[in-house]
Amino acid sequence: MKKHFMTSIWMTIVTTLLLGIVYPFVVTGLAQILFPRQANGDLITMNGKIVGSHLIGQPFSSPGYFRSRPSAAGTGYDASNSGGSNLGPTNKMLIDRMNADIQKAQAENPGTPVPMDLVTTSGSGLDPHISPEAAAFQVPRVAHERGISEADVNTLVANHTEGRQLGFLGEPRVNVLELNLDLDTTHPMKK
């Protein structure tokens, strides 16, 4: 009995050291060496100031900007409280929120079907991307608000559309923050 007890104590100590200390340091060290930009948050800086991350979405509410997916992470895009809403497809709160989002989107772009990712949250609530269809849906509003042609905005969307990873993984996507920053650089909002 004493032998089994001592074995369990030693196994607890060894596994705690290996899996709780050594392994995290090794993985963190490898990430810093192999993928330093991503391991440090893939931050975007402008004029020496951090404005966001390529990896974490942000909310945009002004009509002159492309809007991200809705977020259920905390109070919205809260990186410390990442997660979906866990509301099922028949949940009244989810249905009411989605219907309100659909009505709001259709008011901005009447007669055009609303892309699903503009009314549904991602699993993490922090998704920085929207589909090219969701970006195209918003082009008329953004072009009108900025006083530029839809062709100019469509060109920016096309320039920021990323293809599938390795040619077959995932779906084409548009990083909303990068697109909005490029909009501000090339076609600033008129004051």
Neighbouring CB atoms inside 10 A of 137's CB total 22
Nearest partner of 137 among 160, 115, 158, judged by Cα:
115
Strands 129-130 and 49-53: unpaired
Alpha helices in 35-108 (DSSP H): 36-39, 92-108
Q: What is the SS3 assignment for 15?
A: helix
Report CA-CA distances (Å) from 176 to 130, 141, 142, 190: 7, 15, 13, 20
State which amino acid sits at residue 122: S
Specify which residues 45 forms β-bridges with. 50
Question: From CA 60, how far away is CA 189, in angstroms rounded?
Answer: 14
Instruction: Return the closest-CA partner of residue 41 out of 20, 61, 56.
Output: 56
What is the model's pLDDT at position 191?
A: 64
**pLDDT of the residue at 47:** 87
Which parts of the chain register pLDDT below 70? 191
Residue type for 173, please? R
Q: Residue ranges of the domains in the chain? A: 1-40, 42-186
Residues written for the chain? 191
Q: What is the pLDDT of residue 84?
A: 76
| The pLDDT of residue 106 | 92
